[in-house]
Chain A
């Protein structure tokens, strides 16, 4: 993290003429005034973000220390860490942690692998490539709730859904998709939505490959597999990391698919859904907040790791600038 100092000064050393010309109210030490002039454009965004995103978390932290059910508002009392012990020993919540990890990992890994395969396919020239790309992007552009409804009613429905309709044509079985394999059903719909996203990022990565190096390797007799393994894949690394990171950020927080497809039933309740249930339907404000705080702690641990990944990405970016 301290590395960028090598790259930054190039920009920072420029004579800050603007501070001198636009700010003539520099009675106090000029340096400080100049520094504030530099910071000024940043402040509205920073303050807004701190107020809107950080303050609620502080409030969550406070609420988590209270025994507070909105059905019994008169019984609100300080409870110390009681909510945390309740939450930690709650099998449903532990279950939903596992579900969240499983759901996120499966969706991210499968869509990255599929996305890579599709990006490699689309990186070749063939007739109608543009059209195929457009077709592949379509799932990502369907509003998530609409996509979940589409999968639930038009595809998975055991009586008139498309899947069983096609199976009927082929003389196959008629499974009850959502009750037989609930988590997989949720995952499949999310993979369908996220594969195009991964493909787009990886395709952009592929198109920035150093072609002369690949041509040279080919002339030296490298096989397609060798070129992929030793040239393409290392080049794609940062794009794979980027896709994984962004995918994880969004899929960990997925609410729409679980809410719409299964209503959290059949062991598909992930953390966002469980917390939503605890506070929206069970009105257990204290418990929901404690669970929320635990989620935040878990996320911070993962995020620290993830941020390190981005920072390596970012450093490359900075050294190129």
Chain B
């Protein structure tokens, strides 16, 4: 880094550079140490999920215990418990559909906030964001009562609608920042050729903003997949999602550490996979597009 003293460095490394090098190495080691510290609980969860229940519940911990798939087998209901598949499929369905709805609503909205902005478009942006700041829990009861009266309780579509509204403000903000980057001339050219609004959106804007749209979708998917309060209150047996299933699973089991770890592993897997695959997109998305 400090190779400014280059001419002298050819024969002998000056002490300042050597000191800087040693410091750099020490800081690198520190980074490794902290990294391992942070990932350790996840690795511990992974290891424990492959242990038998009796090996999982020892003190001091048994690191070298034989590995087994029993925890996973129990979680998937091999010995008679409730199968997690309906809950996993519910989660998958609600997350995918709410993400699709968010995209369909947010893309045109972002267009009207960036490429061809309405008057006072900043105020509209802030309105979107402000809905995100109102605590979800304060509107939960009316939603619950409404769902109960209309027979929408324990219905996946209710969750889809709520998750769409939960993610829409963030998606609009992200998408707005991505669309604002599109050169105006391209859109004007399309307009000259007489393209309609929908055509412009889907044929011109969407392809250019593709990576941004992918980032937005990823974030929406993760937040929907993780959501727990609505799922806990508004679903029962039919529409139960994975996080709610996980809570119920834990309270119904006895000796269960390996199973809990296996269950947590399975439920986190989609998010872990998506997140690792798209680390940079994640940053972009989480910062509402402010960080590029």
- Please list the residues of chain A having a beta carbon within 8 angstroms of any beta carbon in chain B: 1, 4, 8, 11-12, 14, 16-18, 21-22, 35, 37-42, 44-46, 48-49, 52-57, 59-60, 63, 118, 121-122, 124-129, 131-147, 149-151, 153-155, 157, 159-162, 164-166, 168-169, 192, 195-197, 200-201, 203-205, 208, 218-219, 238-239, 242, 246, 249, 252-253, 255-256, 259-260, 271-272, 275-276, 279-280, 285, 288-289, 292-293, 295-296, 299-300, 302-303, 306-307, 310-311, 313-314, 317-318, 321
User: 11 A–B contact pairs at CB < 8 A?
Assistant: A1-B122, A11-B114, A42-B113, A45-B168, A49-B168, A56-B142, A57-B138, A126-B28, A136-B34, A141-B272, A307-B129
Interface string of B260-282 (1 = CB under 8 A from A): 11011101100110011001001
Given A52-B164, A53-B139, A200-B279, 16 other A-B residues pairs in contact with their CB atoms under 8 A:
A11-B115, A18-B191, A59-B145, A121-B31, A126-B24, A132-B32, A135-B35, A136-B38, A138-B38, A153-B250, A168-B60, A201-B283, A204-B292, A239-B287, A256-B229, A303-B130
Contacting chain A: which of B73-81, B104-112, B207-215? B104-112
Q: Does B126 contact A (CB under 8 A)?
A: yes
Q: Within 8 Å CB of A49, what residues of B? A: 128, 131, 165, 168-169
Q: Within 8 Å CB of A60, what residues of B? A: 138-139, 141-142
Minimum CB–CB distance for A176 against chain B, Å: 13
Minimum CB–CB distance for B52 against chain A, Å: 13
Contacts A52-B162, A253-B135 given; indicate if A204 touches B291 (C-beta within 8 A).
yes
Q: How far is the CA of A265 from the CA of B91 in the complex (A)?
A: 29
Q: How far is the CA of A149 from the CA of B242 in the complex (A)?
A: 14
Contact between A143 and B137, CB atoms less than 8 A apart: no
Selected from A140, A218, A310, the residue in CB contact (under 8 A) with B129 is A310
Contacts A38-B112, A137-B279, A299-B134 given; indicate if A143 touches B141 (C-beta within 8 A).
no
Q: Within 8 Å CB of B264, what residues of A? A: 142-143, 146-147, 149-150
Selected from A1, A136, A249, the residue in CB contact (under 8 A) with B133 is A249
Contact between A195 and B112, CB atoms less than 8 A apart: no
Q: Within 8 Å CB of B59, what residues of A? A: 159-161, 164-165, 168
Contact between B225 and A143, CB atoms less than 8 A apart: yes
Contact between B165 and A39, CB atoms less than 8 A apart: no
Total inter-chain residue pairs, C-beta < 8 Å: 349
Q: How far is the CA of A160 from the CA of B119 in the complex (A)?
A: 61
Q: Within 8 Å CB of B180, what residues of A? A: 321
Contact between B108 and A143, CB atoms less than 8 A apart: no
Contact between A145 and B42, CB atoms less than 8 A apart: no
Q: Does B13 contact A (CB under 8 A)?
A: no
Interface string of B26-66 (1 = CB under 8 A from A): 01101110111011011011001000000011111100000
Contacts A39-B118, A45-B105 given; indicate if A141 touches B261 (C-beta within 8 A).
no
The residue in chain B whose Cβ has the minimal distance to the Cβ of A100 is B135
Residues 66-86 (chain B) with a chain A CB within 8 angstroms: none
Interface string of B116-132 (1 = CB under 8 A from A): 11110111111111111
Contact between B291 and A141, CB atoms less than 8 A apart: no
Minimum CB–CB distance for A148 against chain B, Å: 9
The SS class assigned to the A binding surface is helix
Residues 220-235 (chain B) with a chain A CB within 8 angstroms: 222, 225-226, 228-229, 232-233
Q: Within 8 Å CB of A122, what residues of B? A: 31
Contacts A60-B142, A197-B286, A255-B137 given; indicate if A143 touches B271 (C-beta within 8 A).
yes
The SS class assigned to the B binding surface is helix
Q: Does B184 contact A (CB under 8 A)?
A: yes
Contact between A133 and B279, CB atoms less than 8 A apart: yes
Q: How far is the CA of A195 from the CA of B2 in the complex (A)?
A: 30
Contact between B38 and A154, CB atoms less than 8 A apart: no
The residue in chain A whose Cβ has the minimal distance to the Cβ of B162 is A52
Q: How far is the CA of A128 from the CA of B30 in the complex (A)?
A: 12
Q: How far is the CA of A276 from the CA of B194 in the complex (A)?
A: 54
Selected from B44, B141, B188, B196, the residue in CB contact (under 8 A) with A292 is B141
Selected from A133, A139, A144, A253, the residue in CB contact (under 8 A) with B41 is A139
Contact between A42 and B135, CB atoms less than 8 A apart: no
Q: Does B143 contact A (CB under 8 A)?
A: yes
Q: Does B6 contact A (CB under 8 A)?
A: no
Contact between B48 and A154, CB atoms less than 8 A apart: yes
The residue in chain A whose Cβ has the minimal distance to the Cβ of B48 is A154
Contact between B41 and A160, CB atoms less than 8 A apart: no
The residue in chain A whose Cβ has the minimal distance to the Cβ of B113 is A42
Contacts A192-B41, A242-B290 given; indicate if A275 touches B138 (C-beta within 8 A).
yes
Contacts A139-B41, A150-B261, A259-B228 given; indicate if A56 touches B139 (C-beta within 8 A).
yes
The residue in chain B whose Cβ has the minimal distance to the Cβ of A256 is B228
The residue in chain A whose Cβ has the minimal distance to the Cβ of B192 is A17
Q: How far is the CA of A44 from the CA of B109 in the complex (A)?
A: 8
Contact between A160 and B56, CB atoms less than 8 A apart: yes
Q: How far is the CA of A320 from the CA of B291 in the complex (A)?
A: 13
Q: Within 8 Å CB of B229, what residues of A? A: 255-256, 272, 276
Selected from A141, A205, A249, the residue in CB contact (under 8 A) with B271 is A141
Q: Within 8 Å CB of A52, what residues of B? A: 161-162, 164-165
Q: How far is the CA of A196 from the CA of B41 in the complex (A)?
A: 14
Contact between B122 and A295, CB atoms less than 8 A apart: no
Contacts A54-B131, A159-B57, A317-B177 given; indicate if A16 touches B142 (C-beta within 8 A).
no
Minimum CB–CB distance for A232 against chain B, Å: 15
Q: Within 8 Å CB of B48, what residues of A? A: 154
Selected from A12, A161, A195, the residue in CB contact (under 8 A) with B119 is A12
Selected from A18, A59, A161, the residue in CB contact (under 8 A) with B142 is A59
Selected from B35, B60, B111, the residue in CB contact (under 8 A) with A41 is B111
